[in-house]
């Protein structure tokens, strides 16, 4: 093979077809070319045959001279597309490809065939590759040499089983789906009384054992058993790629539990075969028979081909699975990116010019360029996500993902999986691997809304991510490194939650690096007309209406309403008003608003009185809270209690300090 790849002695090849073969002058190739069961061919850049030996001609059912000038597709038919692909790869990359399996019914043969081919480049004088050599062995012929009794029907059934198995596993993506197909295939081609497949699970570094159905009524080794690679029966075969055959004597002298169980069931010989693919050893195939010395040396030639077919099926399934998982991840990232684009378009500007809002925007400009963790505090509906997006867009991470997660919207049992992701089989229902929000936010920003709703047992894991920028998926062992910036938001009093032991103090201090307090809409009355006009314009475009005026009386009513739901409530109210409007002047359901105002005033009288009383005392003390002459002492409260009440009532420093 070394000689072929370097092209020595092949320089005198001439381009002469169709009526004669291209001469081969290298005597070292004579034994290979004349071997009765080893096919050899050369093809040119147009994938036309320029040389075919007699063995390959017999395999194709076409005389050697009938190949010259014809393409691979002409000789092999439509089933030769996979062979064409591999030949083109050899021409393109200059690499050799070995143990390529091909099954088809050829145009010049009535029966189906199954072959293993090896492809290698052949260089010319100027170094340019103009030929590819092919060495082919037909699996059926290997068996016919053994089958001296001439039992062609049994060999035909085996060959058919190879073809059916190859076809049925081409699109199989999951191991549980593949195991029954492997079981049926092995049962059809190899008589045995015991069988299993051990597949290496890279995630846990162990072998997963799947029992194969066979002629025995028992499940010998227990399905889905997980064993260490070194200590198990299968270790030597898996690690070193060696075929191991054990007879009754070695089974009896062994201390391995599996061998002892097999002896009790009457198994007297065992053969272990490595499942080797282009990516390395995937696991092992183990077969047992009740007859003593049931596996002979010549059996291993065929058994190796069986194992190669099983390995190919497992390799294809793994490739399909990797492609599917990558596609799912790309689709999920695409969804997040689309949501981000839509959100960015919808909130192109933050509406308002009140001092309270301008103060918040000043804080946004200050903290955005850094990677500091930001905690956005405010009542529901005040626009916490909008501020978080503004911080992201003004930061150095604006080109990466902005990933959001509402911790209150995810069921408690699924929040960990949603945040960290999970491996396949991590819990009931986890049939595939899931990429968590942390991974999606890598190099970008993660926005955790309602962070105060995260359950206590999950908080240490989040703290570790913030401190070490690493985590493991649920059910996984591999540490995943990430680079994220966290922006958290809540409408809860987290300090009070810490006192109530509902939120970890260490996590609170970690996310309370740069707090931003959003004012409620009732403290921004001058922003209400701007917001009303903005929302009217938004919904007018969506509903294809024409509204160009808002009654002054309606605007004054909107400004006097306390808006417990803040900007979100105002937006929904304006949408309802646009729906009700028939002309060009906005129709505001005033009666509904007055009813809500009266009801709210009745419900909030005591709270409003308390708020005004606290504000008056704060103004009288010049904003001093602690001390003998501070507001807390005058109100008969502890300093911490007063601060908690001020936060709950939305009292800001601007309201009581001149």
In a domain, 608, yes or no: yes
Hey, which residues does 103 pair with through a beta bridge? 114
What are the phi and psi torsion angles at 186 (to 5°)? -65, -40
300 shares its domain with 372: no
In a domain, 444, yes or no: yes
One DSSP character per residue, 7-19 reads TTT-TT-----SS
User: Domain of 45: which CATH number?
Assistant: 3.30.450.20
What are the phi and psi torsion angles at 580 (to 5°)? -75, -20
Residues constituting the chain? 658
Residues of the chain short of pLDDT 50, as ranges, are 1-25, 141-150, 215-224, 342-347, 602-603
In a domain, 72, yes or no: yes
pLDDT at 322: 74
In a domain, 151, yes or no: no
> ∠ CA(377), CA(380), CA(381), 5° rounding?
110
52 shares its domain with 121: yes
The DSSP secondary-structure symbol of 512 reads: -
296 shares its domain with 415: no
In a domain, 341, yes or no: no
380 shares its domain with 486: yes
Closest C-alpha to 524, from 341, 384, 650, 375: 650
Mind listing the pLDDT tens digit for each residue in 491-500?
888 988 898 8
Tell me how many helices (H) and strands (E) the chain has.
26, 20
One DSSP character per residue, 47-81 reads SBEEEE-HHHHHHHTS-GGGTBT-BHHHHHGGGGH
Strands 194-201 and 129-138: what pairing? unpaired
In a domain, 595, yes or no: no
492 shares its domain with 504: yes
Residue 276 CB partners (closer than 8 Å, separation 6+) = 241, 282, 307, 308, 311
pLDDT at 451: 92
563 shares its domain with 624: no
pLDDT at 13: 37
> ∠ CA(455), CA(477), CA(330), 5° rounding?
80
User: Domain of 203: which CATH number?
Assistant: 3.30.450.40
Spell 474-509 as b/e; 16+ CB within 10 A means b.
bbbeeebebebbbbbbbbebbbebbeeeebbeebbe
472 shares its domain with 385: yes
- Boundaries of domain holding 560: 521-588
Please state, in angstroms and rounded to a whole number, the distance separating the CA atoms of residues 239 and 148. 36
44 shares its domain with 22: yes
**Domain end among 480, 499, 517:** 517
pLDDT at 367: 94
In a domain, 148, yes or no: no
574 shares its domain with 641: no
Residue 370: strand, helix, or coil:
coil
Angle between helices 175-189 and 299-346 (to 10 degrees): 160
Please state, in angstroms and rounded to a whole number, the distance separating the CA atoms of residues 333 and 209. 35
Quick one: how far is CA 324 from the chain centroid?
A: 8
In a domain, 545, yes or no: yes
393 shares its domain with 442: yes
174 shares its domain with 34: no
Mind listing the pLDDT tens digit for each residue in 625-648?
888 778 888 777 878 888 888 888
Statement: the pTM of the whole predicted model exceeds 0.85: no
pLDDT at 185: 86
Tally of domains in the chain? 5
**Domain end among 565, 588, 611:** 588
CB atoms within 10 A of CB 4: 23
pLDDT at 321: 73
Hey, which residues does 516 pair with through a beta bridge? 376
**Domain end among 118, 139, 160:** 139
Q: Which residue has the tokens 């050369």?
A: 42
Angle between helices 528-543 and 552-560 (to 10 degrees): 120
Please state, in angstroms and rounded to a whole number, the distance separating the CA atoms of residues 63 and 621. 109
pLDDT at 531: 92
580 shares its domain with 612: no
């Amino acid at each position: 093979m070394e000689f072929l790849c370097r092209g020595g002695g092949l320089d005198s090849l001439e381009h002469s077809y169709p009526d004669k073969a291209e001469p081969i002058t290298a005597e070292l190739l004579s034994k290979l070319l004349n071997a009765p069961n080893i096919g050899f061919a050369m093809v040119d850049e147009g994938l036309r045959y320029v040389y075919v030996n007699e063995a390959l001609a017999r395999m194709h059912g076409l005389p050697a001279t009938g190949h010259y000038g014809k393409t691979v597709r002409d000789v092999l038919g439509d089933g030769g597309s996979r062979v064409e692909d591999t030949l083109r790869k050899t021409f393109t990359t200059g690499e050799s490809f070995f143990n390529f399996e091909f099954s088809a019914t050829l145009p010049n043969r009535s029966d189906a065939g199954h072959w293993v081919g090896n492809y290698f480049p052949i260089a010319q004088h100027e170094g340019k590759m103009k030929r590819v050599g092919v060495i082919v062995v037909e699996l059926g012929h290997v068996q016919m040499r053994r089958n001296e009794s001439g039992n062609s029907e049994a060999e035909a059934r085996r060959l058919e089983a190879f073809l059916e198995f190859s076809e049925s596993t081409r699109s199989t993506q999951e191991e549980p789906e593949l195991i029954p197909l492997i079981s049926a295939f092995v049962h059809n081609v190899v008589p045995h009384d015991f069988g299993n497949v051990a597949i290496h699970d890279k995630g846990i570094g162990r072998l997963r054992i799947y029992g194969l159905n066979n002629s025995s009524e028992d499940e010998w080794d227990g399905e889905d058993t997980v064993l260490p690679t070194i200590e198990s029966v299968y270790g030597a075969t898996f690690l070193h790629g060696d075929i191991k055959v054990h007879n009754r004597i070695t089974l009896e002298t062994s201390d391995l539990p599996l061998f002892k169980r097999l002896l009790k069931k009457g198994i007297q010989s065992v053969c272990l075969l490595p499942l080797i693919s282009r990516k390395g050893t995937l696991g092992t195939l183990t077969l047992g028979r009740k007859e003593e010395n049931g596996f002979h040396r010549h059996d291993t030639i065929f058994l190796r081909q069986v194992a190669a077919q099983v390995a190919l099926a497992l390799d294809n399934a793994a490739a399909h699975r990797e492609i599917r998982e990558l596609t799912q991840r790309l689709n999920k990232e695409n969804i997040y990116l689309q949501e981000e684009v839509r959100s960015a378009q919808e909130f192109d500007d933050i509406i308002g010019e009140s001092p309270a809002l301008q103060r918040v925007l000043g804080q946004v400009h200050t903290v955005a360029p850094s990677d500091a963790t930001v905690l956005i505090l405010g009542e529901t509906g005040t626009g916490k996500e909008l501020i978080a997006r503004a911080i992201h867009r003004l930061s150095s991470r604006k080109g990466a993902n902005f990933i959001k997660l509402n911790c209150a919207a995810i069921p408690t049992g699924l929040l960990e999986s949603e945040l960290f992701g999970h491996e396949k089989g991590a819990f009931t229902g986890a049939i595939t691997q899931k990429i968590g929000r942390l991974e999606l936010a890598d190099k970008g920003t993660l926005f955790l809304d309602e962070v105060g709703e995260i359950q206590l047992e999950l908080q240490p894991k989040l703290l570790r991510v913030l401190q070490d920028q690493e985590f493991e998926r649920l059910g996984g062992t591999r540490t995943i490194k990430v680079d994220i910036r966290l922006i958290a938001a809540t409408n809860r009093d987290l300090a009070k939650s810490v006192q109530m032991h509902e939120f970890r103090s260490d996590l609170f201090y970690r996310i309370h690096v740069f707090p931003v307090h959003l004012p409620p809409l009732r403290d921004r009355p001058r922003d209400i007309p701007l917001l009303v006009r903005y929302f009217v314009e938004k919904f007018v475009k969506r509903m294809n209406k024409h509204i160009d005026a808002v009654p002054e009386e309606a605007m004054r009513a909107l400004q006097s309403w306390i808006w417990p739901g803040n900007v979100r409530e105002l937006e929904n109210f304006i949408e309802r008003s646009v729906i009700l409007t028939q002309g060009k002047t906005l129709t505001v359901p005033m009666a509904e608003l007055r009813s809500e105002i009266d009801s709210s005033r009745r419900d909030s009288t005591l709270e409003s009185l308390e708020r005004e009383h606290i504000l008056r005392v704060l103004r009288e003390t010049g904003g001093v809270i602690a001390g003998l002459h501070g507001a807390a002492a005058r109100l008969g409260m502890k300093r911490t209690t007063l601060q908690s009440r001020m936060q709950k009532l939305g009292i800001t420093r601007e309201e009581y300090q001149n």
